[in-house]
Structure 1
Amino acid sequence: MKLKKLAAIMLTGAIALTSASSMAKTYKLASNVPADGPPGQLLQEFASRVTDDTDGRVKIKVFANGTLGGQAQYLQQVQSGVIQMGLVNSAMMENIEPTFGVLNLPYIYRSFDEFKMVMDSDLIQKELFSSTADKGFEIVGFLDNGPRSIYSTKPINSIEDLKGLKLRVMSSPTYIEMLELMGTAPTPLDFSEIYSALQQGMIDGGEGGLGALWEIKFGEHAKYAIKSEQTRMVDLIVINDKALAKMKPEDVKTVQRVMKDVTEKSYDVVREQEAASMKLAKEKLGVKVVEIDKAPLVASMAPIYERAMQDPDKGPMLKKVFELQGREF
């Protein structure tokens, strides 16, 4: 009798384990950033914490360094459900939902505090982030990617030295126009192609976070940079809508809670890491970084704002951002 009872208990336990195992789901999260850089480390922390806090019901496996393709490639796969999650920057998102172009406008943020205030607002978190609902995916949060400046293989000591430089840019209408207004020749390339393009002389430089001069060794070829800080891009974490719908409500809340925590952490991590990386780029690679007067660059961006205000997609959102910031165009 005791043996039968023991067997029944064991069978019940096995069924429970099998049931729990069958409920677990592994979500692929594609990114094009290095696993050991700040964004890559933050993504891994997000994945690990979600797995732990959902007791393994939601397992997230991060594929770094463009293993699953460039952002444009894997975003399409997220939309179709082939890949469940992905890291997509706000510039790439503009191609899918034009309203996100407001986040990419040059000098839209006048300070870090203003940037954080806008990004943490309901205007962005609820209104803007919900605008992709009909695109096959939803946004669960973002990582701060820090300010973006300009680096080059050729000497640059002022904005006048930018004229004619062939600079790598993301495939974003706003970013391309921004570099054109600076007098450069924008060249769209995937992030993973930058190093070889610098090495082979296909480009003179690029615009992006200056921490990459050390972290990805762009500074081995690009020895010059100016702190233009024209934009402050964010990396959005997207998830296929059907994949999200299959999660238990409590697990969805866990994903959102963990993502919010990691977002907050990204603010400090990015600032600290960029400072450390810039110090190493200067000391180890001989990179020269020049502080500049940004006023002429800010003034040169007027055409972008004039068009954005008239744009039916961007205009209304831009006006709301200005209201949040307490300023007028």
Structure 2
Amino acid sequence: MVRAFRSILTASAISATLGFAGAAFAETKWDMPTPYGDAVFHTQNIMQFAAAVKEATGGELSITVHSANSLFGHAEIKDAVRRGLAPIGEILISRMANEDPVFGVDSIPFLAASYEDAEKLWKASREDIAAKLDEQGLTLLFAVPWPGQSLYVNEEVTSTDQMQGVSFRAYNAATERLAQLMGAVPTQVEAGDIPTAFSTGRVSAMITSPSTGASSKAWDFVSHYIDTQAWLPKNMVIVNKQAFDALPEEQQKAVRDAAAEAESRGWEMSEAETAEKIQVLTDNGMQVSAPSETLKEQLGAIGQTMTDEWLAEAGDEGKAIVDAYRAM
């Protein structure tokens, strides 16, 4: 049943994409897969984007948002858009870091540890990311960050010396490397397994966003939140280049304009989400604090080590991005 349903959707998507070869239809309908549920601010922002496109085009271009992996799973979305199975979609940029290290620049710990710095890094890297997507037949529309990744621990940690030997939740190569450089012992744990991992003693500390901390009820297993904002990973909205280029110019402009508004609005929503979820942690008894000067310096040194490692992998292109960012 599911396979048949997806086959129908796939056939429809291919027809919608390839049918633009001649004159555009009077009404164009796009299906848009996204990874997150309707309550997530990224999805809410995208729904506003879709509504703006429909209004600006007088209904000639409509985008139906399929949230929570209901059309394609997160791991499938980028390839689905590239192949034209869905004209447009949303993914986490760093999911493509295994293809090219440039896609992982926003997930280098402590390279850009605030919204202001994250915005500068985005300006420095956007053209390179857009060019790499273009080579794959994809057009970048906009990107919006998640709240910054911060430390969840069971004591007031003022130095990485206190992290020696601590079992630390990791969820990708970067967090595993971060744990190692802090002297902690990394253990891979998916977001949905966080409460169980803490309750069984598999891990006793982690770094994640205030959003994940609130959704996993971190106050049930840790007492302190240290607001490091180590990095602010971004989601991006991409569109199949052939499908986009086939739109009339006025519709392309409508999409671009709506995308620019969605990016600006999304960054504001992300900052608001940060404050809201940190307040949830506070309201539930967690001690929220800024990192001590010692911890900040130590984490900064770790960040430089990981930046250097990334630069060795990314080469001259990566160096140009980091140099441009630091010059801002």
Provide the TM-score with structure 1 as the length reference: 0.77
Is the contact made by 1:147 and 1:209 (CA closer than 8 Å) also made in structure 2? yes
**Which of 19, 24, 42 is the equivalent residue of 1:39?**
42
Paired position in structure 1 for 2:141: 140
> Shift in Å at residue 233 of structure 1?
1.5
Whether 1:181 and 2:181 are equivalent positions in the alignment is: yes
Counterparts of 2:199 and 2:67 in 1: how far apart (Å)? 22
| 3-state SS of paired residue (1:87) | strand
Which amino acid is 1:300 matched to? Answer: I
5+ residue gaps in structure 1? 1-18
Quote the sequence identity (%).
Answer: 17
Post-superposition CA distance 1:304-326 (Å, at most 9, x none):
23333333x34433334323422
Whether 1:88 and 2:91 are equivalent positions in the alignment is: yes
Which amino acid is 1:128 matched to? Answer: I
> Shift in Å at residue 147 of structure 1?
1.6
Is the contact made by 1:85 and 1:240 (CA closer than 8 Å) also made in structure 2? yes
5+ residue gaps in structure 2? 1-22
Which amino acid is 1:317 matched to? Answer: G
| 3-state SS of paired residue (2:142) | strand
> Shift in Å at residue 39 of structure 1?
1.8
Query: Number of aligned pairs?
Result: 302
| Residues 79, 232 of structure 1: alpha-carbon distance in 2 compared, 3 angstrom cutoff | same
> Shift in Å at residue 183 of structure 1?
2.8
Which amino acid is 1:325 matched to? Answer: R
Whether 1:73 and 2:72 are equivalent positions in the alignment is: no
| Residues 117, 309 of structure 1: alpha-carbon distance in 2 compared, 3 angstrom cutoff | closer
| 3-state SS of paired residue (2:58) | coil
> Shift in Å at residue 142 of structure 1?
0.4
Post-superposition CA distance 1:40-89 (Å, at most 9, x none):
22122112111221222322222333434652233333333333333222
Provide the TM-score with structure 2 as the length reference: 0.78
Counterparts of 2:220 and 2:245 in 1: how far apart (Å)? 46
> Shift in Å at residue 111 of structure 1?
4.6
Paired position in structure 1 for 2:150: 149
Is the contact made by 2:33 and 2:72 (CA closer than 8 Å) also made in structure 1? no
> Shift in Å at residue 182 of structure 1?
2.4
Q: CA RMSD in A?
A: 3.1
**Which of 19, 23, 29 is the equivalent residue of 1:25?**
29
**Which of 259, 272, 296 is the equivalent residue of 2:298?**
296
**Which of 53, 58, 69 is the equivalent residue of 2:56?**
53
* 1:96-135 correspondence to structure 2 within 5 Å: 96-109=99-112, 111-119=114-122, 121=123, 123-135=124-136
Which amino acid is 1:38 matched to? Answer: F
Paired position in structure 2 for 1:287: 286
| Residues 93, 249 of structure 1: alpha-carbon distance in 2 compared, 3 angstrom cutoff | farther
| 3-state SS of paired residue (1:95) | coil
Is the contact made by 1:181 and 1:301 (CA closer than 8 Å) also made in structure 2? no
> Shift in Å at residue 296 of structure 1?
0.6
Bigger Cα Rg: 1
> Shift in Å at residue 200 of structure 1?
6.4
